[in-house]
Amino acid sequence: MSNTATIKPCPLAKKCGGCQLQNMLYDEQLAFKQHKCKRLLGRYGKVSPILSMEDPTHYRCKVQAAFAYDYRHRRLLSGVYQSNSHRVVPVNDCLIENRRADEIIVTIRKLARSFKLQAYDEDSKRGFLRHVQVRVGYNTGEIMVVIVSGKPMFSSKRNFVKALLKECPDITTVVHNVNPYHTNLVLGPKNEVLFGKGYIEDELCGCTFRISPGSFYQVNPQQTEVLYNTAMDFAGLTGEETFFDAYCGTGTIGLIAATRGAKRVIGVELNKTAVRDAKSNARRNDIENAEFYAGDASRFITEMAEAGEQVDVIMMDPPRAGSTEEFLSAVCKMAPPTVVYVSCNPETLARDLKYLTTHGYIAKKVQPVDMFPFTEHCECVVKLSRG
C-alpha cells in the first residue's frame, strides 16, 4: 500500500478517540512522528528516517471489547471506551484491529443475546459479561478467546463454547476469566480453560513464544520484528557478550539475543507471571544460555554494580513512564560499553537520554519505528556507547 493511498475515514474516529491521526494520509503521519522525534531527540544524535509499515491497517493482533447494555435501544453493545470516559462506543470493525478478531467479537455478542448473557454493571454488580479479549498469532494463525465476566458462575459455558466453535471453528482455545473488581484492568486473577490448551503460540524473529491471557506481547508483530531486528543490530553481538535484558517481560528480546550471538542473557522483570512465561519460552526454544529473575530491575542492577559484576550490553525497554534515576545511575556505575534503549515514549526517552549523555554516554544511532499507525505513539531505538 502506498503511503499516500486514500484510506476510508473511520466513522467512529471522533467518538472513539483512539486514532488521533485519523485525518492524515499515512505519509503525513510519518512526517508528523519524524518531526516529533527530531524535536525531542535531535540534540542527542542524528535521527534516521522512520521505519514505516507497508500496510498500516488492521495490524493489532490483540483486540479487547467492552460490553454494556444500551437501555435506550434495548440492546447489548460491544466496543471500546470513549476517550476519558466509561461510555462504550459500539464497534463492529476497526481500521487498526485484526479483521478476524473483530468478526469473532461480533459473533460472541450475537451469541450472548441468544444465551441471555447480560452485560455486567460495575455499580450494581449485576450481569455477567464485562469484556472479550481476542489474540491472534500473526505467524501461526492460532486464536485465543478470553471471556471476562464479573461473576464466576458461567452456567451455560459448555453450550456457549460449543455454539461459538460451530460459528468460528478456527478458534484454538477459549478461556473464562473472572474479574469482579472495580478496576481499569480488563483481566482478573482467575482463569478457567474452557477449550484448548489455554494459550496460543506465535513466532517472532525465529523464536516461538507462548502467549497466555495476561502475557505481554507486542500488539503489532509485523513491526515488532522490525523493532527487535533494529535493536539486535544496535547491540552488535559477536558471541562473547553478557547481555542484560532489563524490563524483560516474557523474555522476547532476551531470547532473541540468546539466538543472535549473546554468550549469556540475564533478564529481570517485576511481574512474576511474565518471568514464568519467559522461563517457559526459553525451554520451548531449547535456549540454555538465558536466565530470568523476578525483581525490580533498578534494584537488581544496582546490586550487580555494587558487587562489581560486569555486562557488555544492557537492553532497556521500559514502560511509557521511562526508566528511573536509580536504574540509570546503576547503568552508569556499571558502565557497559553498549546500551540499547527501546522506547515507546519519545518524551521520557529524551529525559533519560539527557541523564545518560551527561554521565559518559554518547547516542550513536537514533531510529524511530512506526508501531502504531493512525495514533500519536511512536517507538524509538537508540544505541548509546561510552564516550
Return the pLDDT at 6. Answer: 55
Q: Which of 376, 317, 319, 372 is nearest to 37 (CA)?
A: 376
- The structural domains of the chain, with segments of one domain joined by +, span 13-56+220-386, 62-198
| Residue 65 pLDDT grade (very low, low, confident, very high; cuts 50, 70, 90) | very high
Can you give 289-314 as a three-state secondary structure string?
CEEEEECCHHHHHHHHHHCCCCCCEE
CATH topology of domain 62-198: OB fold (Dihydrolipoamide Acetyltransferase, E2P) (2.40.50)
Would you mind telling me the total number of residues written for the chain in this entry? 387
pTM of the complete model: 0.91
Residue with more model confidence, 74 or 28: 28
Does residue 344 have an active-site annotation? yes
- Return the DSSP state at 60: B
Q: Which of 61, 344, 378, 380 is catalytic?
A: 344
pLDDT at 1 over 80: no
pLDDT at 136: 97
Pick the CATH number of 13-56+220-386 from 3.40.50.150, 1.10.260.40, 3.20.20.60, 3.60.15.10: 3.40.50.150
Return the half-sphere exposure (C-beta side, CA atoms, 13 A cut-off) of residue 61: 23
> Taking all residues of the chain, what is their mean pLDDT, rounded to a whole number?
93
pLDDT digit string, tens, across residues 192-208: 999 999 999 999 999 99
Overall average pLDDT of the 336-358 stretch: 97
Quick: pLDDT tens for 111-132. Answer: 999 999 999 988 888 999 999 9
Average pLDDT over every residue of 47-76: 93
User: Does the pLDDT of residue 178 top 60, yes or no?
Assistant: yes
User: Picking from 49-58, 77-86, 214-223, 288-297, which range would have the lowest pLDDT averaged per residue?
Assistant: 77-86
The lowest-confidence range among 46-60, 82-96, 113-127 is 82-96
